[in-house]
A and B are shown apart, each in its own frame.
Chain A
Amino acid sequence: MTLFLQLGFQGIALGLVYGLIALGFVIMFKGSHTFNFAHGQFVAIGAYVVLVLLPRMPYVLAFIGAVAITVGLALVVERLLIRGLIGRSVTVVVLATLGISTMLHNAVLMVWGVGSHDSVGPVGAGTTKVGSVVLPNSALATVAVSVVVLAAVAWFFQRTRHGLALRATASSQEAALAQGIDVGRMFALSWALAAFLAVTASIFLASFPRVVSPSIGDLALIAIPAIVIGGMDSLMGAVVGGLVVGLTQVLGSNYLSDIGGGRLHEVLPYVLMLLVLLVRPYGLFGSRSIERV
């Protein structure tokens, strides 16, 4: 039982990180109708910038600095490379973001090299014991911050003018235009929000004992099954999908280690995603209309 709780907690912590990344995907998708395959690279860049800033300033400032730089970069990419593709086919936009991903990945290697570095989590290697379950402080911080950030994002979408405008844009760009909403600004806003979430996720993805390395960008791609399982346009779905994937990986690495060559948990998120597509193509929480995009 202890082991189950232990694994479950680790799975939830990891799943919430995936949820943060998935949420970024969903917000960009709602705001700009772009499924951004380059999102993982923003996660990587966020982690690297925190790594560079950390020795020079307090943690909070380093984080804010990383958010500023990553958001700035996301805005530049959106304005220069994505905005011009509005209205083009899914194939074109998907390929464009894959191209951007390749660019950013190689740029990261040029700037920071191919090696791995230190961890950049907000708390160290310490743990807190609850009964017989050991809760790593980094995982506790992941859970705490994720919950706060997710609540803030929900509040933003429900209660603020910009959030409402973003939702309006998501449901219909024409209608939003008619209401006097600057759709271009909504595009930028959604990318900025996603970049902020990417940096937040990055510090936990590179929390002890995980480290900053070029592979973080690829690691973040596991958020894709999370989004599909949850539903591409659902904020709630992104988080739930992330949890499903995180729990599948961690619980599976223990309970499925004797079957399927010990690698079943690696492929299970993709199998789940395919099953969801089969019975409920718009995801567990998505709206039916999205199927037609």
Chain B
Amino acid sequence: MSVLTSPPAPRDAATPAPRAQGLLTRGRIGVLLWIAAMVVLPLVLRSELWLGIGILTLIVGVGALGMQVITGLAGQISLGHAFFMGIGAYSSAWLGADKGLPWWLWLPAAGLVAATAGALVAPVAVRIRGLYLAVATLALVFIGLYAWETWTSLSGGVNGRPAAPVLFGDQDLSLGIMAGDQVILDAFQAWWYFALAILLVVMLLTHNLKRSRLGRAFMAVRDKDVAAAVVGVPVTQTKTVAFVISSFFAGISGALLVSYMGYFTPSQWHLMLSVDFIAMIVIGGMGTVSGALLGALFVRAMPEVVNHASGFLPFVRKGTSTDGGITGPLLSGFLYGLVIVLILLFEPNGIRALLLRAWRRLPAPLGSSRERRKTS
């Protein structure tokens, strides 16, 4: 089958045409710089709040890449991400905490179970599209919530259950890594590097997937599935694979998330979690690896930034009160919604495009500090 002789016309402004760039060719410097920064950050960053946000960003980044595969690349909107994350989480907890398997078994297994669930759902999901797919996957979330809360021997019911620990030998990652009495990495740093390592693997997978024939088939289906079928892309099969891969990443992300938290309840696999993931990829930039990560950072960090900033805003009520008023938490919720809408309206390609534009304007490295501050 000959997939795509010419790039399809982008149907949606939010999905830029693919550009030919290799991870290890032209993008090398950027990637290396990013990795270097990610390695140095936990050593210099001294705020537990921001370390925690950073770790959660890395963990949900894995899930955001899964979202990117199904929605950004294959163009299938899914509100069911929370459901697949939940499956990964419960699989990992059962295998890791109840059965005592090591993390290098329960982590991939969590992905595989979620992927299997994705494969089971796919035959229905590939038959419908657009809004119908959105609401069908929304139904999955609610059915999942019911299943978790009712299957108490697995989930512990509404009170939740412990997650699988990440153990290296007899060292628990959540206690930090020690050599004798010497602390090598504290708990935050240890989890940061662990999550970063997993994320890098998933990034590489996603990147290569995008460049592969399968990735091009995804985008062909996204841009016009009838046309894709005409040029020989097996549409149903392609969509199914996209679902499976996306669910795999979601499962991994869910397993990591609960392992980091240590204990989890059914209520957290709620619709809002799915919404956060859609927000991540659309806000960050559809169809790209960096967009997913930028979006993850935005979603995790934005409420805290506003919370901090609101301390300096004169119109924000300092205390909290049950009878209303503009308080920090409410303002951050409001602005979260507003920024999503504004980005959709004014920068269809997301923060990634915004940053790219700012970056291109940098005349020389020396004069860059002023511009850089703007982007942060």
Contact = CB atoms under 8 A, between A and B. Distances in A.
Do A and B associate with each other? yes
Interface in A61-111: 81, 84-85, 88-92, 94-96, 98-107, 109-111
Interface in B297-334: 321-327, 330-331, 333-334
B324 A112 contact: yes
A35 B324 CA distance: 30
Nearest to B140: A274
B14 A88 contact: yes
B338 A103 contact: yes
B82 interface: no
Contacts of B327: 110
Contacts of A99: 279, 336-341, 344
Contacts of B75: 89
Contacts of B324: 109-114
B154 interface: no
A225 B139 contact: yes
A81 B132 contact: no
Contacts of B325: 110, 113
Interface stretch (B17-25, B122-130, B180-188, B197-205): B122-130
A103 B138 contact: no
Interface residues of A, number: 51
Interface stretch (A122-130, A176-184, A185-193, A263-271): A263-271
Contacts of A271: 139, 143
Which of A91, A94, A281, A291 is the most central at the interface, judged by chain B CB atoms within 10 Å of its CB? Answer: A91
A270 B348 contact: no
B40 interface: no
Interface in B140-187: 140, 142-143, 145-146, 149-150
A192 B219 CA distance: 38
A101 B278 contact: no
B149 to A, nearest CB: 7
Contacts of A55: none
B275 interface: yes
Given A81-B341, A88-B14, A266-B146, A94 B131 contact: yes
A273 B278 contact: no
Given A95-B340, A271-B143, A106 B334 contact: yes
A278 interface: yes
B151 to A, nearest CB: 9
A281 B131 contact: no
B13 interface: yes
A116 B138 CA distance: 28
Contacts of A110: 324-327, 330-331, 334
Contacts of B71: 91
B136 interface: yes
Interface in B1-58: 11-15
Given A91-B282, A98-B275, A228 B132 contact: yes
B322 A114 contact: yes
B330 A232 contact: no
Contacts of B330: 106, 109-110
A140 to B, nearest CB: 31
B77 A91 contact: yes
B134 interface: yes
A281 B149 contact: no
A96 B275 CA distance: 11
B14 A92 contact: yes
A261 interface: yes
A53 interface: no
A274 B136 contact: yes
A270 B143 contact: yes
B337 A113 contact: no
Interface in B274-292: 275, 278-279, 282, 286
Contacts of B79: 94
A260 B149 CA distance: 10
A90 to B, nearest CB: 5
Contacts of B348: 88, 92
Contact of A90 (B13, B77, B139): B77
B135 interface: yes
Nearest to B145: A267
Contacts of A270: 138-139, 142-143
B322 A115 contact: yes
A277 interface: yes
Which of B127, B322, B340 is the most central at the interface, judged by chain A CB atoms within 10 Å of its CB? Answer: B340
B341 A103 contact: yes
A92 B71 CA distance: 11
Contacts of A281: 127-128, 132
Given A106-B334, A281-B132, A94 B278 contact: yes
B76 to A, nearest CB: 9
A224 interface: yes
Interface of A: 35, 81, 84-85, 88-92, 94-96, 98-107, 109-115, 224-225, 227-228, 232, 260-261, 263-264, 266-267, 270-271, 273-274, 277-278, 281-282, 291-293
Q: Which 6 A/B pairs are nearest by Cβ-Cβ distance?
A: A102-B337, A99-B340, A103-B337, A267-B146, A113-B324, A106-B333
7 contacts: A91-B282, A95-B278, A96-B340, A106-B334, A110-B326, A114-B322, A274-B124
